[in-house]
């Protein structure tokens, strides 16, 4: 057995003192893949390009680059996770702006009271903040969809797979006067089996969750109703006068690289690589938690993925960790061990839960599981 040197002991002490930040869903996990394959996705933009506000007169969304629209359609058709036929594509600065645009589009302008916006707990934390931020007279936050009992118009936001707990979701209110917006940011084959082609009225997607480029700040909506798509476009026009064409061009190129690799059965194709990485991480995390009597993880759905042919259990971008000890504040308990997560109350749930990111860089994730393992053995 090798004896530890003084330097080894110093490094261990430094690791124990290091704060592990897994609060945000920053998808830096994908950085190493794109470092290896980034040249294929490189984009050169001439200086004269994009001097105009406008992209194409043919598109309802006049700032939508045709290259990006075509790439989005190819990507969905490859994966089989959403219907694209007879849909209007609206591009936005991430899914946050698209959600605001959708709320604007489905609100009733002449209503005496603002429409209630609800989502089933545990719900994605920023929904409440997004709804309340503008202090709009059109809509207001109505809280947990399970507790919504008003006989009034409402909008329900359904996230599936859900953030934070990774569960497959459908609408829970189901009343005649309601509108449902489906946030499908994580409905991609590295996170969950693709078991159906989503066919909803309003579906939101984002570049950050699908391929890991959060800094490009780009998302898109697939919208059935042309009038709703027009109003969403109006909102984006009034708030930002369109969306960066550079980001659209870059995302289009990356999408083409992803699709081409899968069509040519490349051994290092993006979704195959990402699936394997997520599978290893969840195996590593579950092994640590199962050896512990302090924590637990939820049971997640399994299924056969029509895209890959694999049968597997959902492996979300976040772990919904529950403290099974006497600690009532799981976030505080982890913080005492220098792990920063997001507490359950921010998701409309118990403080016994904390959400931790599974998509950080390898070094951070490995330190996270090592730290959790040390907690369970202490």
CATH number, position 303: 3.90.1150.10
Report the domain count for the chain.
2
Q: How many CA atoms lie within 13 A of 326 on its CB side?
A: 0
Concatenate the DSSP letters of all residues of 150-163 into one string.
-SS-EEEEEESS-T
Same domain, 224 and 128: yes
* Residue 327 within any structural domain of the chain: yes
178: CATH: 3.40.640.10
Summarised one tens digit per residue, pLDDT across range 23-42 is: 999 999 999 999 999 789 99
* Residue 153 within any structural domain of the chain: yes
Choose one of 220, 241, 263: the last residue of a domain: 263
Summarised one tens digit per residue, pLDDT across range 247-295 is: 999 999 999 999 999 999 999 999 999 999 999 999 999 999 999 889 9
Q: Where do the H-state alpha helices sit in 42-185?
A: 66-79, 94-106, 126-133
Say if strands 302-304 and 311-313 run parallel, antiparallel, or are unpaired: antiparallel
pLDDT(223) > 50: yes
Same domain, 192 and 66: yes
* Residue 81 within any structural domain of the chain: yes
Q: Scan for tokens 């589009």, then name that residue.
A: 105
Average pLDDT, the chain: 93
> Which residues, including other chains, have CB under 8 Å from residue 236's CB and lie 6 or more apart?
61, 63, 90, 92, 93, 97, 101, 242, 243
Full-prediction pTM beyond 0.95? no
Choose one of 232, 263, 294: the last residue of a domain: 263
Structure tokens at 291: 């050896």
Summarised one tens digit per residue, pLDDT across range 310-333 is: 999 999 999 999 999 777 899 999
* Residue 13 within any structural domain of the chain: no
Same domain, 237 and 130: yes
* Residue 11 within any structural domain of the chain: no
* Residue 155 within any structural domain of the chain: yes
Confirm if 321 and 330 have CB atoms less than 8 A apart: yes
**Residue 17: which pLDDT band, with cuts at 50, 70 and 90?**
confident
CA 318 from chain centre, in angstroms, equals 9
> Which residues, including other chains, have CB under 8 Å from residue 151's CB and lie 6 or more apart?
177
What's the pLDDT at 9?
Answer: 43
Per the structure, the complete domain to which residue 323 belongs is given by: 18-35+268-376
pLDDT(8) > 90: no
Same domain, 135 and 169: yes
Same domain, 302 and 230: no
- Residue 68 CB neighbours (<10 A): 25
What's the pLDDT at 293?
Answer: 87
Same domain, 285 and 171: no
Choose one of 240, 263, 286: the last residue of a domain: 263
Same domain, 66 and 174: yes
- Residue 287 CB neighbours (<10 A): 12
CA 186 from chain centre, in angstroms, equals 5
Cis peptide before 363 (omega within 30 of 0): no
Same domain, 192 and 320: no
Same domain, 258 and 272: no
Q: Scan for tokens 């009225």, then name that residue.
A: 201
Same domain, 291 and 181: no
Same domain, 144 and 284: no
The span from the CA of 82 to the CA of 227, in Å, is 20
* Residue 10 within any structural domain of the chain: no
Same domain, 155 and 113: yes
């Amino acid at each position: 057995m090798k004896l530890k040197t003084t330097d080894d002991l110093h490094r261990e002490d430094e690791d124990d003192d290091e704060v592990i930040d897994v609060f945000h869903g920053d998808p830096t996990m994908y950085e190493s893949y794109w470092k290896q394959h980034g040249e294929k996705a490189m984009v050169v933009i001439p200086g004269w390009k994009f001097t105009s506000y406008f992209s194409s007169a043919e598109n309802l969304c006049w700032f939508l680059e045709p290259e990006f629209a075509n790439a989005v359609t190819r990507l969905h058709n490859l994966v089989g996770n959403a219907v694209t036929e007879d849909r209007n594509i609206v591009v936005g600065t991430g899914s946050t702006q698209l959600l605001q645009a959708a709320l604007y589009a489905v609100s009733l302008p002449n209503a005496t009271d603002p429409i209630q916006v609800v989502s089933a707990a545990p719900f994605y934390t920023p929904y409440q903040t997004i709804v309340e931020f503008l202090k709009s007279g059109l809509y207001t936050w109505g809280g947990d969809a399970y507790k919504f009992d008003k006989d009034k118009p409402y909008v329900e936001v359904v996230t599936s797979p859900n953030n934070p707990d990774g569960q497959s979701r459908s609408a829970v209110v189901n009343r005649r006067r309601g509108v449902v917006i489906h946030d499908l940011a994580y409905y991609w084959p590295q996170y969950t089996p693709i078991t159906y082609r989503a066919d909803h009225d309003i579906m939101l997607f984002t570049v950050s969750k699908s391929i890991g480029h959060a800094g490009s700040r780009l998302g898109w909506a697939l919208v059935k109703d042309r009038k709703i798509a027009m109003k969403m476009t109006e909102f984006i026009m009034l708030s930002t006068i369109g969306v960066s064409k550079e980001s659209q061009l870059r995302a289009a190129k990356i999408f083409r690289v992803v699709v081409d690799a899968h069509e040519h059965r490349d051994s290092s194709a993006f979704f195959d690589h990402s699936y394997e990485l997520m599978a290893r991480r969840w195996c590593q995390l579950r092994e640590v938690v199962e050896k512990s009597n302090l924590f637990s993880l939820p049971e997640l759905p399994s299924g056969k993925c029509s895209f890959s042919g694999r049968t597997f259990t959902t492996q979300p971008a976040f772990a919904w960790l529950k403290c099974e000890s006497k600690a009532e504040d799981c976030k505080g308990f982890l913080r005492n061990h220098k792990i920063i997560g997001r507490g359950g109350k921010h998701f409309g749930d118990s403080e016994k839960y904390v959400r931790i990111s599974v998509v950080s860089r390898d070094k951070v994730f490995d330190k996270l599981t090592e730290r959790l393992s040390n907690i369970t053995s202490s």
